[in-house]
Structure 1
Amino acid sequence: MKRISGVNNWKLVIRRETAGVTILRAETCDRQAALPDTLFGLPVTALGGHALTPGRQAPEGEEVLVTCGPAGEEWDNRQLEDLRLPDTLRRVGDYALFNCTALRTLRLADTIAYWDGGVLMNCRQLDTFYLTCTGREGELMDYLAGELPRELDMTLSYPEGRTARVIFPEYVEVFEENVPHHQFDFHIQGAGYPYHHCFYHKQFSLRDYDQLWKGYLGMEHEEDCALRLAWWRLRYPLDLTERAEEAYWAYLRDHGAAAARWLLSRRDAAGLRTLLSRTDWTREGLAELCDLARGQDATEALAVLLEEQHRRFPSGMDKTFDL
């Protein structure tokens, strides 16, 4: 077995080809890991079928140990939570990530041209994606949103440092048995279906995405999901029109307390300051948030809240602040 250094611990079985390297098998003991972009001077261009499936027997091929220091004892991907795929990758084989049940976050580029069947099957917790975009992000997003009907959180990184973050709300496809007619009736539940299918010719438009907002609010939806969707579009306002911006802020103004509690749970003091500046508050509402921040030991957020409390209601306030 060849041994090389890397940024994570991997046990690999590979096949060298003229155009690059195919990883036939990859096992790690790390919870957060990045597959190498190159091996032995060749780009990693493909993942084989069942390449990361826990418990699968390793196929025949060239064995490589990638090390970055002390390693754990379990090398079966069952603990893998955060995975970065190589930017050089062009193909992902059948069931490559099958049964990676702890996987929550996937980082990858939109340059993967081929996805074989069942790649994400039984990745039950996978809902967060960081995409490097080169102009083909619509194809990748269409694939991911089509495969995973749950709520998805996608951060899109474009050239020149431009960033967008979009939420795709959950929907559920339900088959109900219609016994008298000996058939199954198909139903779609949840307001997220239009978002998961907002791609025209596999292209993604942020403006088309924003136009779904009014219809989404008109259906039964989860308020906390709507809050996150609105907030991230405002936080990263790439291609955001004034009309869409006002619609998102209108929702946050109507749900200011819930938004503030969410930002407190994230310890996002800067975001909390922005929210407070764009929403109306009573003395009692700010006092409740201050108590919540104290209970969470969120010192920076508490300072923001006390400052806002003093600005809005200066009379009768103590001259000293208790942090």
Structure 2
Amino acid sequence: MFLFEEVERKGERGLVLTGYSGKTRYLSVPAYLENECGEKLPVLEIAAHAFDGREDLEKVELPKTIRALRAFSFFNCKALREFTLWDSVEDYYDGSLRQCLALSRITVYFEREENYQIVRDILGDSDRRLQFHLYLLDGSRNTNTDSVVTSSGTATSSREKADSYERNSSVRSSTKELSLLFPGYVDKVREDTMARQIHDTIDGCGYSYRQTVGRRRIDLRLYDKLFLRAIHDTKGAAVYIALGRLRYPAELLDKAREDYLAFLSEEDSFSLSFLISDEEWEWIEFYMNLQIFSEEAVKLALKLLAKYENVELAARFLDYQEKHFAKGKKKPLFDLDEL
């Protein structure tokens, strides 16, 4: 059951979510809840410390009615892996997603152009590695994915919300996606008592990557130019950076594309091992479609996949091996792909 308080913000009556009674791994916050009088009011905010320290939450979805995430609203949710919200969030307070050590994917839906403040705020609140998936829309469409529930928490499913968004998005070719990984960094402060000075140094390229996000735009050209630093500082993060930009290549220059492909080709064994250990099957399938694996990398992948019992993906690698590396195979009279 959702817990809430009724408030008035700028002349609008609404609700502030203060928590959830009981345990749940998947929290889908509805756009509207019914108060004690049976009135349906919008959920406008997540209260300070509302879900602070919850150990059960693994996935959270917020509706586009949310305007504010108060201080430490989801602080220290150790099991939280996925977090979804809209660019409707205008006020993001310190600590809202801090110390969520398992958080690996943040999805943001945009209804307004040049409105990246929420991405900037979340990045500024964490020095850890963060992966963003952005659905970018211009402001001329009206997407209605709101749901109405009672205080017991029965709501339309997240799949229905996503399907509705996809249906509305498909009507215009200007809709695009971005998958951007921002590496972590370490801010070191050292005091020199003899000289009465404080020296501040930053280790890692994560801080530089964060500077590519402004309030009104994301500098994708600069994001791509930082790739060589990412390879040197954190090769694992570089794998996701390269795959993300190749899969969703908005503003991707030919030179940057070549750099990403060269890295993924030269480091295919490392990259596949890294992705398999993370169980990122979808990214591996996209990687395979690039057709750049070496025979050694494919053999390694098959060996590793046996431990995860992923029969379907292993079959695809066997097919890849047969197609690209089979020796002494009699050439067919024709290729079925050419028919």
TM-score, with structure 2 as normaliser = 0.74
8 Å CA contact retained: 1:93, 1:116: yes
- Structure 2: gaps (5+ residues): 35-39, 138-168, 170-174, 331-339
User: Does residue 33 in structure 1 map to residue 47 in structure 2?
Assistant: no
Compare 241-250 and 197-206 and name the one that shifted more: 197-206
SS at match of 1:250: helix
Q: Residue 150 of structure 1: which of 128, 134, 150 is its match? A: 128
**How many angstroms does 1:270 deviate by?**
2.8
Question: SS of the counterpart of 2:309?
Answer: coil
Partner residue in 2 for 1:303: 315
Question: Does structure 2 retain, via aligned residues, the 8 Å contact 1:127–1:150?
Answer: no
Which structure 2 residues correspond to residues 248-287 of structure 1 after superposition, within 5 A? 248-264=260-276, 265-268=279-282, 270-275=285-290, 277-279=291-293, 281-282=294-295, 284-287=296-299
The amino acid across from 1:26 in the alignment is G
**C-alpha contact 2:92 2:118 (8 A) present in aligned 1:** no
What's the secondary structure of 2:19's corresponding residue?
Answer: strand
Q: Does 1:163 align with 2:154?
A: no
1:21 matched to 2:14? yes
Q: Quick one: which amino acid aligns to residue 207 of structure 1?
A: R
The C-alpha deviation readout for 1:34-65, integer Å capped at 9, x for no partner, is 112112322111223323234xxxxxxxxxxx
Task: Determine whether 1:123 maps to 2:75.
Answer: no
Distance 1:271 1:16, change over 3 A: same
Shift of 1:235: 1.9
Root-mean-square deviation (CA), in Å?
A: 2.6
Structure-2 separation of matches of 1:116 and 1:287: 48
Identity %: 26
Aligned to 1:289: 301
Find the counterpart in structure 2 of residue 49 from structure 1: 48
SS of the equivalent of 2:244 reads: helix
Query: Could you tell me which residue of structure 2 aligns to residue 89 of structure 1?
Result: 66
Q: Does 1:141 align with 2:119?
A: yes
Q: What CA distance in whole angstroms lies between the structure 1 residues aligned with 2:329 and 2:302? A: 14
**How far apart in 2 are the matches of 1:118 and 1:194?**
21
Match of 1:59 in 2: none
Distance 2:63 2:313 in 1: 38
Structure 1 unmatched runs, 5+: 1-9, 55-76, 319-323
1:203 equivalent in alignment to 2:217: yes
In the alignment, the residues of structure 1 paired with residue 12 and residue 59 of structure 2 have an alpha-carbon distance, to the nearest angstrom, of: 28
Shift of 1:202: 4.5
- 1:240 matched to 2:240? The reply is no
Counterpart position of 2:202: 188
Q: 1:36 to 1:308 in 2, by over 3 A?
A: closer
1:48–1:139 distance in 2 versus 1, CA, 3 Å? same
Alignment partners' CA distance in 2, 1:315 and 1:274: 22
Q: Which one-letter code corresponds to 1:46 in the other structure?
A: E
Question: Structure 1 residue 172 and structure 2 residue 189: aligned?
Answer: no
Q: What is the deviation of 1:201?
A: 4.6
Partner-residue secondary structure (3-state), 1:230: helix
Q: How big is the shift at 1:136?
A: 4.7
Q: Secondary structure at the match of 1:88?
A: coil
C-alpha distance in 1 between matches for 2:17 and 2:306 = 51
- Distance 1:101-1:216 versus aligned 2 partners, 3 A rule: closer
Tell me: CA distance 1:255–1:96, structure 2 relative to 1, closer, same or farther (3 Å): same
Please give the TM-score of this superposition, normalised by the length of structure 1.
0.77
Cα deviation digits, residues 66-97 of structure 1 (max 9, x gap) = xxxxxxxxxxx331122112211112223322
8 Å CA contact 1:263–1:272 kept in 2: the answer is no
Match of 1:222 in 2: 234
Q: Which one-letter code corresponds to 2:74 in the other structure?
A: L
Deviation at 1:144, TM superposition (A): 1.0
Q: Secondary structure at the match of 2:72?
A: coil
